[in-house]
Structure formats: structure tokens, C-alpha cells
Amino acid sequence: MSGLFHDLERSPTNTQVALDELLSAAKWNDDGLIPAIAQQHDSGEVLMMAWMNRAALEETLSTGRVCYWSRSRQAFWRKGETSGQQQQLVEARFDCDGDTLLLQVDQSGPACHTGRRSCFYLRLSTSMAEIDREPLMSADELYGMNR
């Protein structure tokens, strides 16, 4: 584990470190990415998980609008750029070992590309999985007929 995150584990509350130093110590994976969980700030609903590289995180913190890194497109993914359903950043946090981000966001409309509010609409039981969330709008409405 990175020395800085390890040192912070036992540091007192209110300890501060420079963002640049923390980002240099964070555990970006072999592709330079860290998973980021997006949670609606007021309801607490977990909306989605996507990935960020350092530049995407820095852009998100400076603009206040959430920007991921799309692994499939290998490009910045400014949430809402195509669908119009933006994510505004309320708060960003790293976890104890610097390998996961938690974003408190304000999401307009659906976060999921299927038109559902959250991507987590497949509930598991011991033998089955079931779709238990309705779309707020269709994928066609969200992206037009090109999709």
C-alpha cells in the first residue's frame, strides 16, 4: 500500500494533505483508472459505477461536472454530453487505501443508459435474478433513434 494512504489511516481527524500528493499516491490500476461510485447526494441511492483517470478526476473537481473515462470508447465521458442527463458533483471522497472513489452527485433524470434512474435494477436471490425497476424514459428518448 502507498505510504501516504497508510500514514493517513492513523492520522487525526481534520488532517489535510495536498490533493496533488494524494493523487500521486492513489492506486490507479494498470490502465491508469480507479472505479468511482456515484451516489445521489440527498436520497442516498447508488446510481452507477464507472471509471476515472487522474485527468478526469481533476476535471471533475475543477468544473463540478462529473467526467469519467470510457473504457469502451477510450475517451473522456462527460456524463450527459449525449443524453443531456448531467451529473453535478456535490462531494468526492477517496477510500482508506486509495483505490476507490465515492462521488456524491446531483443527477438529473436517469443515470443509466437504459433510461432507468439507477444501473442496479437486477435484484438477485439464491436462484433467480429479476428486473425490478422501471425506466423513467426509453433509451430511444434518451439518445434519439441512432442507438
The secondary structure of residue 64, as a DSSP letter, is: S
For a copy of itself, give the closer residue by CB, 75 or 131. Answer: 131
Compute how many other C-beta atoms are within 10 angstroms of the C-beta atom of residue 11. Answer: 10
**Which residues sit at the interface with a copy of itself, rule CB under 8 A?**
8-19, 22, 35, 37, 39, 43-46, 48-49, 61-62, 91-97, 100, 102, 112-114, 116, 119-134, 139
Question: Is 112 annotated in some ligand binding site?
Answer: yes
Taking the complex as a whole, the smallest distance from the CB of residue 131 to a copy of itself amounts, in Å, to 5
Residue of 69, 56, 64 lying closest to 87 (CA atoms):
64
CB of residue 107 to a copy of itself, shortest distance in Å: 15
| Distance separating alpha carbons of residues 107 and 89, to the nearest angstrom | 9
Residue 99 assigned as binding residue: yes
Cβ-based nearer residue to a copy of itself, 10 or 73: 10
Residue closer to a copy of itself, measured from CB, 86 or 97: 97
Q: Residue 31, annotated ligand binder?
A: no
Q: Pairing state of beta strands 34-40 and 101-107?
A: parallel
Q: Which residues pair with 78 in a beta bridge?
A: 67
Q: Measured between alpha carbons, how far is 80 from 91 in angstroms, rounded to an integer?
A: 18
Give the residue with the Cβ less far from a copy of itself, 18 or 145.
Answer: 18
106 annotated to bind ligand: no
What is the enclosing helix (H) or strand (E) of 76?
strand 75-78
Binding-site residue positions for Mg(2+): 95, 97, 99
Which residues carry a binding-site annotation for Zn(2+)?
A: 96, 112, 119
